[in-house]
Structure 1
Amino acid sequence: MPSAAERTRTLVQSTCSAALLVPGLNAPGSDQLMPLTRNVGPDGDLFLELPADSQAVRAATHAEDGELTAVLEITDVAPVSVPHRIRGRAWVSGRLTTVPGMSGPGRMTLRLETGEAYVDDLWGAEEVEPDEFRDAAPDPLVGHEAELLQHLHAAHGEQLDTLCGLLGERAARRCAAHRPSVVPLALDRYGLRVRFREDGGCFDARFEFPEPVRDIGELRHAMHTLFEAAAH
């Protein structure tokens, strides 16, 4: 399974929505504290680009000796419609300072020096040490996951339905009796997670790939192997 540090880096470097939380700051519009871009530097610090006139930029500009603290909160929402659609959240906290000269007109880059990180997602809730966050790499599928899940949901419904056959005899009988709908929920280099929806509720199942995939080509092969196993 992906480590907590890898999952946190993946969320930070994904397209999930994020908000910068600065104690004592009440922005009149929520977009004031939503970074326009976010990147992770080689030391594990976050570089967040915001409008130059945002309250966060003004607060960081006038803070004394870099004593302004902040938290970046990332919310991960499934890209397909499922019950309980929020898949997880991550938080990265630390000192916030300005980095002049890195952005174009009307924008300013802020550095969030990573002090603490925490993730609470489909795998569970875990703390992440700053050095673990620094050394982790985002999942190689992060830039494609939303599109891939939407494609699976729209074009491969019949193949997804066959995954019931891989859950074991008891679960297969339950699927045959209730005929749940199967929705792809999450995808990473290690496997595919789906949500089975039935009248009485829903449950998740995780299908591991034989080997972690490194790119889309290897993913296609892994998915083909998975569906072939389910068909038999």
Structure 2
Amino acid sequence: MPSAAERTRTLVHSTCSAVLLVPGPYGADPGQPMVSTRSVGPDGDLFLELPVDSPAVRAATHAEGDGPSAVLEITDVAPVSLPHRIRGRARVSGRLTAVPGVPGPGRMTLRLATGEAYVDDLWGAEAVGPEEFRDAAPDPLVGHEAELLQHLHAAHGEQLGALCGLLGERSARRCATHRPSVVPLALDRYGLRVRVCEDRRRCFDARFEFPEPVRDISELRHAMHRLFEAAAN
């Protein structure tokens, strides 16, 4: 399974919505703007682009010393429609400073010197240290996951339904009896996770591991072909 640090880095590099929270008089604004772009430097620090009039920018530009403390909060929502769509949340905390230069009209880049991080997702909840976060790499499919899940949901419903046959005798019998919906929930280099729902109140998740981790889209296509082929036989 991916480590907690890898999962946190993946969420940071994803297109999931994120807000930057800054305690204190400058950051005390309930209408926190979304962080439009974010990236991670080689030392593990985050670079965040926000409007120049945002509370976080005001806090960073008026602060003295090491800068104010701040928390980047990321919410991961499944890109397809299904019950209980929130897949996880992550927080990265640290000290905030302004980065010289102007990224664009009305924008400013802030640097969040990474301290502690925390992830709570489909794998579980776990804290992540700054060195772990710095050294981890995001999942290679992170830039394509949303599109791939939407494609699977729209074009491969029959093959997804056939995956019930790989869940063991009891689960396969339930699937055959109740004809549940099988919706792709998450995809990473290690495998595919689906949500099997008889109705909105009775759902369970199942995960199908690839024989070996995939490194790119080409290897993913091969792994998915093998998975669907196994379910059809």
Q: Same fold (TM over 0.5)?
A: yes
Query: What TM-score, normalized by structure 1, do the two folds share?
Result: 0.96
Q: Which amino acid in the other structure matches residue 228 of structure 2?
A: F
- 1:12-63 alpha-carbon deviations (Å, 9 max, x no partner): 00000000011132336332xx212100000000000111121211111111
The within-5 A match list for 1:54-203 is 54-101=54-101, 103-199=103-199, 200-203=201-204
- Aligned residues: percent identity? 84
Q: Distance in 2 between matches of 1:36 and 1:11?
A: 14
Q: Which amino acid in the other structure matches residue 137 of structure 2?
A: A
The corresponding residue for 1:216 is 217
Q: Distance in 2 between matches of 1:112 and 1:21?
A: 11
Aligned-pair Cα RMSD in Å: 1.1
The corresponding residue for 1:35 is 35
The corresponding residue for 2:28 is 26
- CA 1:30–1:80 in 2, change beyond 3 Å: closer, same or farther? same
- 1:74-109 alpha-carbon deviations (Å, 9 max, x no partner): 000000011110000000000001111152332111
Q: Distance in 2 between matches of 1:36 and 1:171?
A: 43
Q: Which amino acid in the other structure matches residue 28 of structure 2?
A: N
**Residue aligned with 1:61, SS:** helix
Gaps of 5+ in 1: none
Q: Distance in 2 between matches of 1:74 and 1:179?
A: 35
- 1:206-230 alpha-carbon deviations (Å, 9 max, x no partner): 0000110011100000000000000
Q: Distance in 2 between matches of 1:52 and 1:184?
A: 39
- 1:106-133 alpha-carbon deviations (Å, 9 max, x no partner): 2111100110000000000000011110
Deviates more, 1:63-72 or 1:98-107: 98-107
**Count of equivalent residues:** 230
Query: What TM-score, normalized by structure 2, do the two folds share?
Result: 0.96
**Residue aligned with 2:83, SS:** coil
Residue 32 of structure 2 contacts residue 55 of structure 2 at CA under 8 Å; is this kept in 1? no
Q: Distance in 1 between matches of 2:92 and 2:205?
A: 28
Q: Which amino acid in the other structure matches residue 9 of structure 2?
A: R
Q: Which amino acid in the other structure matches residue 97 of structure 2?
A: T
Q: Which amino acid in the other structure matches residue 10 of structure 2?
A: T
Residue 69 of structure 2 contacts residue 94 of structure 2 at CA under 8 Å; is this kept in 1? yes
